[in-house]
Structure 1
Amino acid sequence: MVTAMAVALAAACCGGVPAAIVTGLLLAVCCAGLTQWLASSSSELTWLPSVCCALMVAAFPSLLVALPGTAYTCARTSRHDSSHDESDTHGTRLPASSRIRTMIALCATLAWLPACVRLIAMAAAGMPLGMGVSPSREAPLAYMACLFSVIAFLLGHTRRELAHASRSSRHARDARRAMARDMAARLTSSAEERDIATRMATLDERTRIARDIHDNVGHLLTRAIMQTEASKIVSQARGDMEAVRSLEEIGGTLHETMTMMRQSVHDLADEGTDFPSMVEEAARCSSALDVRVTNDVTAVPAPVARCCVALIREALANTVHHGTASHAEVVLRDFPAFWQIAVQDDGGRPRTTGSADPEISRGMGLADIEARVRALGGTCTYGPNGPGWRVFASIPKRDSAPSEV
C-alpha cells in the first residue's frame, strides 16, 4: 500500500510514469515476493532481498519508489531483538558467532537508512535524481519517499511485534493446556493409588481380624467344648441325668457358636481376598519360566479364587517338571455367565519320566485341579495344544458357593 502511494505521488510529480518508476515498482514487487518465498522455506537469508534492494536504491536514486516497500520488508524480517531477548533471559553474554549474527541482523534491518540519507542529501543539494524531470520537482518526491519509508518501517515493526505476541500467546496457551493435562493425569494417578492403598489396607485389616478370631476365640471355644464334653461324661458316670441334659444344651450352644464364628472368619477371609494379587503371586511361583499374565477378572468368590490359584501353580509346576519350556502365558477372562482360565506354555522337549505317555505323566498332578473345578460346577481339560501344553478351565457363575473338594 505504501509502495502504491509512493508510485502515485511520483507519477503526479513527474507528470507521467517514467521508466524509473516502473523499474522501482518491479524491484519492490520482486523484493517482497522473494522475501516471502525465503520465509516460507524457513531460510536464514530472508533479509538478503531487502538489503540488495536498499543498496540498489542507494546506488540508483531514480528507483526511490522501491524504498518504502524495502523499509517495510526490512522491519518485518528483523531478528536482532530476539537475540537480545535470549541474552537477557539466560543472563549470559552471547557467544561470538551469535553476536556477529546479531550485528548482521541489525545492519539488515537498517539497510534502507543509507538510501534515505543519500536521497535527502541530494535533494537538499539540488542534485538531479535521474528521473528525467527538473530537480525542483524531484526534491519533494525524495522527501516524501523518505517519509513513506519511515512510516512503512514503523508499520512493519508493529506488524512483526504483533505476530511475535500472537505466537507467544499461542505457545503460552499450549503450555498451560499441557500443564493442565499433566496435572489432571497426576491427580488421577494419585486418586487411583490412594484407592488401591485404601483397598489393600482394608483387606489386610480384615485378614488380620479373621486370623485373630481364629487363633484366640477359636481356641477358647474349642477348650470350652472339650470341657463340656468331659463334664457330660462325668455326669453320665454319676447318673446325674439332669446335669447331662444341661451340659448337652450348653454343648449345643457352644457348637453353634463355633459354627457361626467359623462362618464369620471365612467371610472375613473371603472379603480380604485380593484376586489380582493372588494371580500375580501364583504366576511368579517358578523362576525358571517367563510368565505373562493377562487378567480381566477383578473379583471372584473365595472358592473360585483358590481354585484358580491352585490351577495356575499346578500347571506351571508341571511345565517346569515335565518339559523344557521357557515361556508361559496365563489368561483369565470374565464372561457374563462364567470365568475362563487358560495356562499355555511354548512347548519344549519333554523330560524323561517313569511313564512312557507324556500326557499321563503330566496329567496325574492335575487330577486334584480337575476335581476342584468340577466341584464348582465347571469343566477342566488339559493336553497338548499347538507347540506346547495347555490347561483350560471354565467355571460358571452361581449365587451360592459350592463345597470345595
Structure 2
Amino acid sequence: MQRLLDQAAILLLCLVGAYFTTGLGTEIVAAMLTAVCAAMLATYFSIDGRKTGGRESVWISSWICLAYAAAGIFRAELLLFLPAMIYICLDEERPAFKWCWAVPAAAGLASGAADDIWIVLLLGSLAALMQYRRASFDSMRGEYRNMQDAARERSMRLEQKTRELREKQDYEVRLAMLSERNRIAREIHDNVGHLLTRCILQVKAMEVVHQGEPEIGEQLEAVRDTLTDAMNNVRNSVHDLHDDAADLGMELRSLAREFTFCPVKLSYDGGSPPREVRLCILGIVKEALSNIARHSDADRAAVTVVEHPAFYQLVIEDNGSVWETESPEGIGLENMRERVSVFHGVFRIIRDSGFRIFVTIPKEGKR
C-alpha cells in the first residue's frame, strides 16, 4: 500500500512539474497515462516476484522500466515521468535490476531530448529518497515483528518452564507427603501394633490363669475385647494410610526403572484411580513386563496409562517378535484377562509389528 501511495505522489509531482515547464498538452497527458500503466505493471510484477520468489516476474518488472527509459530517448515527455520508474527499480536488490534505467535515461537526457533536466533530476532524487524511507520503514517493521516473535517465544518458553517447575514442585510435595504417610503407617504398625498384640497375648494368658474366677474372667474378657477392637482400628488406619500413600504413577515409574531387560518408556496420565483399579493395573504391568523378559526379543517397550472421562486405558507394547512360547491361552495372559473381567473391562491383544496389549477398565458408575 505504501508503494502505491508513494508512486501516486511521485506521478502527481511529475505532472505538476510538467505543467509548469511545458504545460498540459496532449503529449504530456499521453506520457502520463503511459507512465501510470507502466508503473502499475512494473509494480505488480515486482510484488509478485517478491511473494513467489520467481525471477521471471522481477525480470519483467525491470524490462518494463528499461523499455520506458529507452522510449524516453525518442519521446522527451516520457522522461518527465521517469522518477516513477526510478522508484520501482531502486526497490530491487540486485544492482543489474536496480540501475537498469540509468543508461537509457542518461542517453536520453544527454541527447537533449529533455530541455528541463533539472526537474527530472530533482524528482528522481525525491523518488530515491522516498524509496529509501519506505525501505527503512519496512526494515524497522520487520525488526519490530521479529522482536515481537522473539518476545512471544521467550514468554511461551518461560510459561512452559514455570509450568514444569510448578508440576515438579507439586510432585515433590506429593512425594514428601506420601513418604511421610508411609513412615507414619510403619511407625504405627511396628510400635503400637506390636504393643497391642503383646497386651492381647498377656490378657489371654491371664484368662488361662484365672479360669476358675468368673468375675476376674469377665473383666479380662472385656479388656481383651477392648484391646482387640483397638488392634483392628489400628490395622484399618495403617491400611488406609498405606492406600492413600500409594501412587500408581510412582509405582509404575519404579517398575520401569527396575526393569533391566530393555528400556521402558512410561507415559502416565491416569490420575488417582481407586485402590482396586490401581492393583489391577499394577498386576497387569508386572505380568506383561515379566512376559517380555521371558518370551520376547524386544529392545524397547512402552507403557501408557490414560484416564478418560468414562474409563481407564492401559496400553503395553514392545517391538519384539510374537511370543511364541506364550500361547493365547497361557497362564500369564489368562491372569491379565481375569483381572480385567472383574471390572467388566476389555482386554485385547494385537500381534502386529510387535506385541500390544490394550486394556480398558470402566469407571465405577460406567460399569
Q: TM-score range by the shorter chain?
A: 0.5 to 0.7
- 2 CA distance for matches of 1:174 and 1:67? 40
How far is the alpha carbon of 1:283 from its aligned partner?
Answer: 6.0
Any idea what the Cα deviations from partners look like across 1:363-389, whole Å, max 9, x if unmatched?
2x6787788778xx5469999876799
Q: TM-score, normalised by structure 1?
A: 0.62
Could you tell me whether the CA contact under 8 Å between 2:348 and 2:359 is conserved in 1? Answer: no
Flag structure 1 segments of 5+ consecutive residues without an equivalent: 80-100, 123-127, 132-137, 352-357, 400-405
Aligned letter for 1:41? G
Identity within the alignment, %: 27
Equivalent residue, structure 2, for 1:98: none
Please give the alpha-carbon distance, in whole angstroms, between the structure 1 residues aligned to 2:360 and 2:29.
92
**Which of 39, 55, 64 is the equivalent residue of 2:79?**
64
SS at match of 2:205: helix
Match for 1:244 among 217, 220, 231? 217
Alignment correspondent of 1:230: 205
- Which shows bigger deviation, 215-224 or 329-338? 329-338
Structure 2 CA distance, aligned partners of 1:384 and 1:148? 81
Paired residues for 1:41-52 under 5 Å: 41-42=49-50
Deviations 1:235-293 (A, max 9, x none): 33xx4443333322222221111110110000000001111333454466654467676
Determine the C-alpha separation between the residues in 2 that align with 1:318 and 1:285: 15
1:277 equivalent to 2:260? Answer no
- Residues 28 and 49 of structure 1: is their aligned pair in 2 closer, same or farther, counting only changes over 3 Å? farther
How many residue pairs match? The answer is 344
Give 2:233's match in structure 1, choosing from 253, 260, 276: 260
Whole-angstrom CA distance in 1 between matches of 2:13 and 2:310 = 83
What corresponds to 1:199 in structure 2? 174
Q: Which runs of no fewer than 5 residues in structure 2 stay unpaired?
A: 1-7
Distance 1:276 1:228, change over 3 A: same
User: Are positions 1:6 and 2:21 aligned together?
Assistant: no
2:278 is aligned to 305
Matches of 1:176 and 1:349 in 2, distance apart? 56
| Structure 1 pair 14–295 and aligned structure 2 pair: CA distance change class (3 A) | closer
Instruction: Provide closer, same or farther for how the CA distance between residues 53 and 261 of structure 1 changes in structure 2, counting only shifts above 3 A.
Output: same
Answer whether contact 1:71 1:150 (CA < 8 A) is retained: no
Aligned residue number for residue 88 of structure 2: 73
AA partner of residue 275 (structure 2):
A
Q: Does the aligned pair in 2 maintain the 1:297–1:333 contact within 8 Å?
A: yes
After superposition, the Cα gap between the structure-2 partners of 1:26 and 1:316, relative to the gap in structure 1 and judged at 3 Å, is same
Cα distance in 2, alignment partners of residues 14 and 146 from structure 1 = 16
Q: Distance in 1 between matches of 2:364 and 2:39?
A: 83
Separation in 1, partners of 2:358, 2:15: 89
Secondary structure of 1:144's counterpart equals: helix
| 2:113 paired residue among 123, 130, 136 | 130
Query: Structure 1 residues 233, 111: CA separation in 2 closer, same or farther (over 3 Å shift)?
Result: farther
Tell me how far 1:216 sits from its aligned partner.
1.7
Q: 1:350 aligns with which of 325, 343, 359?
A: 325
Shift of 1:330: 5.9
Measured after TM superposition, the shift of residue 58 of structure 1 is 10
1:40 to 26, 31, 48: 48
Q: How does 1:158-197 map to 2 (within 5 A)?
A: 158-197=133-172
Higher CA-based Rg: 1
* In the alignment, structure 1 residue 317 sits paired with structure 2 residue 290: yes
Q: Given the superposition, is the C-alpha separation of residues 189 and 142 from structure 1 closer, same or farther in structure 2, using an over 3 Å criterion? A: same
Contact 2:38 2:68 in 1 (8 A): no
The amino acid that maps onto 2:91 is T
Structure 1 Cα separation of the partners of residues 17 and 359 of structure 2: 94
Q: Kindly indicate whether the alpha-carbon contact (under 8 Å) linking 1:203 and 1:272 is maintained by their aligned counterparts in 2.
A: yes
Report SS of the residue matched to 2:178. helix
| TM alignment of 1:319-334, pairs within 5 A | 320-321=293-294, 323-324=295-296, 326=298
Give the Å deviation of 1:310: 2.6
Q: What's the RMSD between the two structures over aligned residues?
A: 5.1
Deviation at 1:220, TM superposition (A): 1.8
Q: Amino acid of the residue matched to residue 168 of structure 1? A: E
Alignment partners' CA distance in 1, 2:362 and 2:127: 83
Cα offsets for 1:271-321 (capped at 9, x unmatched) = 011113334544666544676767664323334423432343235435654
Once the two structures are superposed, residues 123-161 of structure 1 have per-residue CA deviations (whole angstroms, 9 ceiling, x without a partner) of xxxxx8235xxxxxx3xx333333333333333333333
CA contact 2:200–2:227 (8 Å) conserved in 1: yes
Aligned twin of 2:183: 208
Whether the aligned pair in 2 keeps the contact of 1:283 and 1:313 (CA below 8 Å) is no
What whole-Å deviation, never above 9, does each CA across 1:72-113 have from its counterpart, x for those lacking one? 335x5277xxxxxxxxxxxxxxxxxxxxx9xx69x959969x
SS at match of 1:41: helix
Distance 1:398 1:263, change over 3 A: farther
Q: Describe the shift of the 1:319–1:66 C-alpha distance in structure 2 as closer, same or farther (beyond 3 A).
A: closer
The answer (yes or no) to whether the contact 2:344–2:361 under 8 Å persists in 1 is yes
Partners of 2:113 and 2:314 in 1: CA distance = 96
Q: Provide closer, same or farther for how the CA distance between residues 111 and 232 of structure 1 changes in structure 2, counting only shifts above 3 A.
A: farther
1:202, distance to aligned residue in structure 2 (A): 1.6
The equivalent of 2:120 in structure 1 is 145
